[in-house]
Chain A
Amino acid sequence: MPQELNYLKETPSQTAGPYVHIGLAPGAAGFDIYRQELGWDIAGPNAKGERIRVEGIVIDGTGSPVKDVLIEAWQANAQGVYAHPEHPGEVEDGFRGWGRVITDFETGEWGFDTVKPGPVPGRSGSMMAPHINLWIVARGINIGLNTRLYFSNEEQANAADPVINLIEWENRRQTLIARRGARGGQAVYRFDIRLQGENETVFFDI
């Protein structure tokens, strides 16, 4: 027998279940308990850049909306800097880059307000197109699903993005592109997530 490596094993994941709101969004479960819930303000008041809204729905393999999903978003600011000590550069005071959203229990629609992120350095000197990292948990999802949201009006950057280009099936790449629209003078990006079946969203093992 060779020596043992002695690495620990990662704790196994389990589904967040249907009552995930109790822990992560208790107001939506129906009660007030914390001084402040976390994740409701991604960009803060001082963030520079274009203010945008992102909206969508999560659809299961039968074509039905998933009404008990929770999504977390992680993004850089408009200058492409993450609010994290390992990322060189500064973010605006109050810019957190992290958000947590839940779906409407009746319709399954979700949405959040933020600023459009800037491009972020990729590996080996490449640049990644502006994107928001998403993590999706729900009843029936045993381990959180990772995906990325890119922007339809960044065609050139998207075409050069090293991650989009990793996806061998070119027809699947468009599942990661949020469609730009407008409402009341504000940019609104539509990003529907299909868990399974036709036009299934690309999910990553990160």
Chain B
Amino acid sequence: MLKPGEFYQRDREWQPPAYSPDYKTSVARSPRNALISLQNSMSEITGPVFGHNDVDPIDNDLLSNYAKPGESPIGERIILHGRVLDENGRPLPNTLVEIWQANAGGRYRHKKDTYLAPIDPNFGGCGRVLTDENGYYHFRTVKPGAYPWRNWVNNWRPAHIHMSIFGTAFAQRLITQCYFEGDPLIARCPIVNTIPDPKAVERLIAPLDLNATIPLDAIAYKFDIVLRGRRSTLFENRLEGN
């Protein structure tokens, strides 16, 4: 009975390798032994389920979720929106998307961040939302600034928003980063360049989406996310519709 339809194998040549020495921290934090390949069992095809009791409606609005009443953060007001799909092109409804980012000056609200750019008193820097029935999500926020980091002496991260996505299974769990169209720092970033295929890098660059902007209010970027797809259970389900 339990012969679950597996998720498609992760393409480890498309994904960044563990060891990528230009991103220095990866040198001591990457396994040296090969991963052991595991066919999916119940442990991998299941995963946590979230509901509307877990998140509040304001959680996806970084312009107001940490601002004092009547105030708002300083920076370029943006809408970040898109869909969460699987590799079959099917939308993933009701899945949790969490984001975090620096403020407009590139400063994180984190006790370990000591960058001299100031904290914005009206900006926390995190948000979360469940996708709707069509797999669609959106956030309101400010566009983050670039910030320096200790890798090479003069490394600067491109403007980016960290994104965490669940899907329906522990096998689909993913954390990534969203970059912004046209940023000249993208090509120079050792973290971006952990990804070997330039086509894969392009998938992390959100294009400007003028059609979704709110005139005189906020500009928009579109960022679609694709999680692993899955085949139907052989013999138990029809193969068609995969």
With a cutoff of 8 Å between Cβ atoms, the chain A residues found around residue B175 in the complex are: 13-16, 20, 137, 144
Binds A, one of B24-32, B73-81, B213-221: B24-32
In this complex, how many residues of chain B approach chain A with their Cβ under 8 Å: the count is 88
With a cutoff of 8 Å between Cβ atoms, the chain B residues found around residue A24 in the complex are: 98, 100, 164
Does B47 lie within 8 Å of A74, measured CB to CB?
A: yes
Which of A7, A143, A202 makes the CB contact (< 8 A) with B16? Answer: A143
Determine the distance from Cα of A198 to Cα of B195 in the docked complex, in whole angstroms. 28
How would residues 173 to 184 of chain B score, 1 for a CB under 8 Å from any chain A CB and 0 otherwise? 111110000000
Q: Is A160 an interface residue (CB 8 A)?
A: no
Q: Is B188 an interface residue (CB 8 A)?
A: no
Determine the main DSSP class of B at the interface with A: loop
Does B109 lie within 8 Å of A206, measured CB to CB?
A: no
**What is the distance, in angstroms, from B25's C-beta to the closest C-beta of chain A?**
3
Which of A26, A135, A206 makes the CB contact (< 8 A) with B124? Answer: A26
Does B47 lie within 8 Å of A60, measured CB to CB?
A: no
Does A196 lie within 8 Å of B87, measured CB to CB?
A: no
Q: Is B152 an interface residue (CB 8 A)?
A: no
With a cutoff of 8 Å between Cβ atoms, the chain B residues found around residue A50 in the complex are: none
How would residues 30 to 67 of chain A score, 1 for a CB under 8 Å from any chain B CB and 0 otherwise? 11011110100000000000000000000011101010
Determine the distance from Cα of A66 to Cα of B177 in the docked complex, in whole angstroms. 22
Q: Is B3 an interface residue (CB 8 A)?
A: yes
Determine the main DSSP class of A at the interface with B: loop
Does A10 lie within 8 Å of B110, measured CB to CB?
A: no
With a cutoff of 8 Å between Cβ atoms, the chain A residues found around residue B46 in the complex are: 74, 82, 84, 86-87
Does A204 lie within 8 Å of B36, measured CB to CB?
A: yes
Q: Is A181 an interface residue (CB 8 A)?
A: no
Known: A8-B88, A30-B111, A163-B41. 17 other contacts (CB 8 A): A9-B203, A10-B87, A10-B226, A12-B14, A15-B23, A16-B175, A20-B100, A22-B100, A23-B99, A33-B65, A34-B59, A76-B43, A83-B49, A98-B47, A133-B44, A195-B30, A205-B38
5 interchain pairs, CB-CB under 8 A: A11-B174, A12-B195, A14-B192, A18-B112, A120-B43
Show the binding face of A for B, using Cβ within 8 Å. Answer: 6-24, 26, 29-31, 33-36, 38, 60-62, 64, 66, 68, 72, 74, 76, 82-87, 96-98, 105, 120-125, 128, 131, 133, 135, 137-145, 148, 163, 166-167, 172, 195-197, 200-206
The 8 closest A-B pairs by CB, nearest first: A23-B100, A140-B25, A98-B48, A140-B29, A84-B46, A61-B28, A142-B16, A205-B35
Show the binding face of B for A, using Cβ within 8 Å. Answer: 2-4, 8-12, 14-18, 20, 23, 25-33, 35-50, 54, 56, 59, 65-66, 85-89, 96, 98-101, 108-113, 124-126, 128, 162, 164-165, 170-171, 173-177, 191-192, 194-195, 200-201, 203-204, 225-229
